[in-house]
């Protein structure tokens, strides 16, 4: 029976809260809020939304997660990747300038993401994220980071570049309009990028983005730069958004379903990766399914208060942990600080240049381009590197949604290919020992008229033909006529009905040709199938051995 602590994980840290935790939670909560305010507005802008929607997504969803999440340091809120996916998914569904419908579809998307994640957690489907392999995720993230960064070029240099996920088109449009660049806007944008990079190298705890927001806003207001072509955020509504039920139609749901599924999986993967890393350092456990429920609930609640989709962010979570967050109270503090800004300080955001928000996004996302993974896979696993590069190029050239889905499909197809053509090894004896190793290893002795072979895979309908053909071709290459075949089954952990039928055929063929067959290292699940099908009795108990050496010794005596 599910306990109350399992339903509401925050009960555990609330019941064990200690006074010495308070200082760290307060400091971390305030620090993350200082980072989050400009980032939330920037990511809303990236998603094609009014900047205030980023702030709406930084209050109630954070509080909901603080109570329901199993991570004590996770900083939930708007993130760049999800913002890009929102823009990608909704941009093609809404005509340019129809802000009201764009916002309505975004709120519906938040609701759908919440329902999907909550349902996945409820039915314990967290394992589905395993279909998104690390190379695919890395390739997608790197490409998306470039798309996000270049999409902000229009804000950073002050040009009216049409929305696009194609980097070459963005660069081409920028070059075509180069004589229309607003030099003041460009100075703000490039200056902010340089400033943020320097501050980041000095210390990640210095609120560089907030400093840039304050200074640029004061300069714009003091010198009336908005009258000289510098685009500003302008009016940011004060106060909380009213409770409202998202509007939707069946056609809207079907149109948004692919992007909602993508955001649900990508957002959860980004969140769970950093959550597990920090939990490991802090020696406590993360429950993946409870995390899905918590993130789903955060998005569900946010949808009724005009929030864009949220998830856990890498950079803010890392800072939250480093500053000293001990419990979910730090997230509640963050939400309260954002709420105070919404209630009393929105007039101070009026003169904020959009170039600054664009610069904040650029600096945040270009660090996500994963060069180290490319170098690692080049040394370790080149077929995985191929998946990474294909996903990367597909995302850059075809589109964000198409890139991630192509990567997932290719990784699954590659998995199927590898299991249908598994690795196998002809084994030879190591002189003076009872061990058998791959014959290609120098110093092993061939077993002559005894073929000892090991298959490193499950034995199922998908690889039956390959395994039978492998045995046939291997037999043809032997110098001496075969008398025995010893199959080392130590790596075979599954046997289906098709494979079992193939074993019966193999046994009949070998007996017709007076060739013996025996098995070594057969695992219990496989042995059970063999016994139920009658293969065990047909082959004979005496032809099953605990190790390869005993099996070969028997063939030498017979």
378 and 260 assigned to the same domain: yes
**CATH code of the domain containing 472:** 3.30.750.24
481 — pLDDT class (breaks 50, 70, 90): confident
Q: What is the pLDDT of residues 225-254, one digit of tens each?
A: 988 889 998 878 888 888 998 888 889 999
Q: In 3D, which of 301, 252, 293, 327 has the Cα closest to residue 56?
A: 301
Residue 152 burial (CB count, 10 A): 25
d(CA 344, CA 18): 32
Identify the three-state secondary structure at position 345.
coil
- How much is the pLDDT for 4? 67
401 and 444 assigned to the same domain: no
d(CA 185, CA 154): 10
- Is residue 140 assigned to a domain? yes
Q: Is residue 129 predicted with pLDDT exceeding 50?
A: yes
322 and 292 assigned to the same domain: yes
Q: What is the pLDDT of residues 280-334, one digit of tens each?
A: 888 888 888 999 999 999 999 999 999 999 999 877 888 888 888 899 999 999 9
Question: Which of 388, 413, 438 is at the close of a domain?
Answer: 413
Region 88-98 average pLDDT: 83
pTM for the predicted model, two decimal places? 0.78
374 and 468 assigned to the same domain: no
Q: Is 402 exposed, middle or buried (0-12, 13-18, 19+ CB in 10 A)?
A: middle
Q: Is 497 exposed, middle or buried (0-12, 13-18, 19+ CB in 10 A)?
A: exposed
- Is residue 418 assigned to a domain? no
- Is residue 357 assigned to a domain? yes
513 — pLDDT class (breaks 50, 70, 90): very high
How many domains are contained in the chain? 2
d(CA 113, CA 335): 21
- The encoded tokens of residue 28 equal 């971390």
Question: Which of 375, 391, 413 is at the close of a domain?
Answer: 413
- How much is the pLDDT for 1? 47
492 — pLDDT class (breaks 50, 70, 90): very high
558 — pLDDT class (breaks 50, 70, 90): low
Q: What is the CA radius of gyration of the chain?
A: 30
329-344 helix and 21-46 helix, angle to the nearest 10 degrees: 50
Residue 430 burial (CB count, 10 A): 14
Which parts of 229-330 are beta strand (E)? 311-312
357 and 475 assigned to the same domain: no
- How much is the pLDDT for 2? 56
d(CA 135, CA 139): 6
192 and 237 assigned to the same domain: yes
Mean pLDDT of the chain: 88
Region 465-486 average pLDDT: 90
- Is residue 247 assigned to a domain? yes
- The encoded tokens of residue 262 equal 């993508």
335 and 284 assigned to the same domain: yes
Give the C-alpha distances (Å, rounded to integers) separating 210 from 400, 520, 539.
30, 67, 76
Strand partners, 232: 353
- How much is the pLDDT for 216? 92
537 — pLDDT class (breaks 50, 70, 90): very high
d(CA 129, CA 307): 24
155 and 99 assigned to the same domain: yes
The share of the chain scoring above pLDDT 90, in percent, equals 45
- Domain coverage including residue 522: 424-557
115-119 LR contacts (CB < 8 Å, sep 24+): 115/296, 115/300, 116/260, 116/261, 116/264, 116/296, 117/264, 117/267, 117/268, 117/292, 117/293, 117/295, 117/296, 117/299, 118/292, 118/293, 118/296, 118/297, 118/300, 119/296
Q: Is residue 76 predicted with pLDDT exceeding 60?
A: yes
- The encoded tokens of residue 94 equal 């809404």
d(CA 86, CA 94): 12
Q: Is residue 443 predicted with pLDDT exceeding 80?
A: no
Question: Which of 382, 413, 444 is at the close of a domain?
Answer: 413
Region 98-124 average pLDDT: 94
d(CA 76, CA 307): 13
Q: How many CA atoms lie within 13 A of 248 on its CB side?
A: 20
């Amino acid at each position: 029976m599910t306990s109350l602590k399992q339903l509401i994980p925050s009960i555990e840290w609330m019941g064990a809260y200690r006074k010495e935790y308070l200082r760290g939670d307060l400091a971390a909560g305030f620090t993350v809020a200082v980072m989050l305010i400009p980032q939330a507005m920037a990511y809303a802008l990236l998603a094609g939304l009014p900047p205030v929607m980023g702030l709406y997504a930084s209050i109630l969803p954070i509080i909901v997660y603080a109570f329901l999440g199993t991570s004590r340091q996770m900083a939930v809120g708007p993130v760049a990747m999800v913002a890009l996916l929102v823009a990608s998914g909704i941009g093609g569904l809404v005509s340019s300038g129809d802000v009201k419908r764009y916002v309505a579809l975004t709120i519906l998307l938040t609701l759908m993401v919440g329902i999907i994640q909550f349902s996945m957690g409820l039915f314990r489907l967290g394992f589905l994220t395993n279909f998104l392999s690390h190379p695919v995720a890395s390739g997608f993230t790197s490409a998306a980071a470039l798309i996000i960064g270049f999409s902000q070029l229009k804000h950073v240099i002050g040009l009216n570049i049409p929305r696009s996920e194609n980097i070459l088109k963005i660069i081409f449009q920028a070059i075509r309009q180069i004589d229309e660049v607003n030099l003041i806007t460009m100075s703000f944008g490039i200056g902010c990028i340089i400033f943020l990079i320097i501050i980041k190298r000095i210390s990640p705890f210095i609120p560089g983005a907030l400093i840039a927001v304050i200074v640029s806003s004061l300069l714009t207001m003091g010198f009336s730069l908005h009258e000289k072509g510098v685009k500003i955020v302008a009016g940011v509504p004060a106060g909380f958004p009213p409770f409202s039920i998202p509007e939707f139609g069946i056609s809207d749901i079907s149109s948004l379903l692919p992007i909602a599924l993508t955001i649900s999986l990508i957002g959860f993967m980004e969140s769970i990766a950093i959550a597990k890393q920090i939990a490991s350092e802090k020696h406590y456990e993360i429950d993946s399914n409870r995390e899905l429920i918590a993130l789903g609930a955060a998005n569900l609640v946010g949808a009724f208060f005009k929030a864009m989709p949220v998830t856990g962010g890498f950079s803010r979570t890392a800072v939250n942990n480093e500053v000293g967050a001990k419990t979910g109270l730090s997230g509640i503090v963050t939400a309260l600080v954002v709420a105070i800004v919404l209630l009393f300080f929105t007039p101070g955001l009026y003169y904020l240049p959009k170039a600054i928000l664009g610069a904040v996004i650029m600096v945040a996302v270009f660090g996500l381009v994963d060069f180290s993974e490319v170098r690692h896979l080049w040394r370790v696993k080149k077929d995985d590197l191929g998946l990474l590069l294909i996903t990367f190029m597909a995302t850059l050239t075809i589109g964000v949604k198409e890139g991630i889905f192509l990567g997932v499909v290719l990784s699954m197809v590659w998995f199927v290919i590898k299991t249908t053509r598994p690795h196998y090894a002809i084994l030879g004896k190591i002189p003076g020992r009872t061990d058998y190793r791959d014959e290609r290893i120098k110093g092993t002795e061939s077993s002559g008229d005894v073929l000892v072979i090991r298959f490193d895979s499950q034995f199922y309908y998908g690889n039956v033909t390959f395994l039978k053909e492998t045995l046939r071709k291997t037999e043809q290459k032997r110098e001496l006529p075969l008398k025995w075949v010893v199959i080392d089954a130590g790596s075979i952990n599954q046997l289906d009905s098709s494979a079992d039928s193939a074993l019966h055929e193999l046994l009949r063929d070998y007996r017709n040709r007076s060739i013996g067959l025996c098995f070594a290292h057969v695992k219990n699940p496989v042995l059970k199938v063999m016994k139920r099908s009658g293969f065990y009795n047909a082959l004979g108990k005496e032809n099953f051995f605990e190790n390869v050496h005993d099996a070969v010794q028997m063939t030498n005596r017979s």
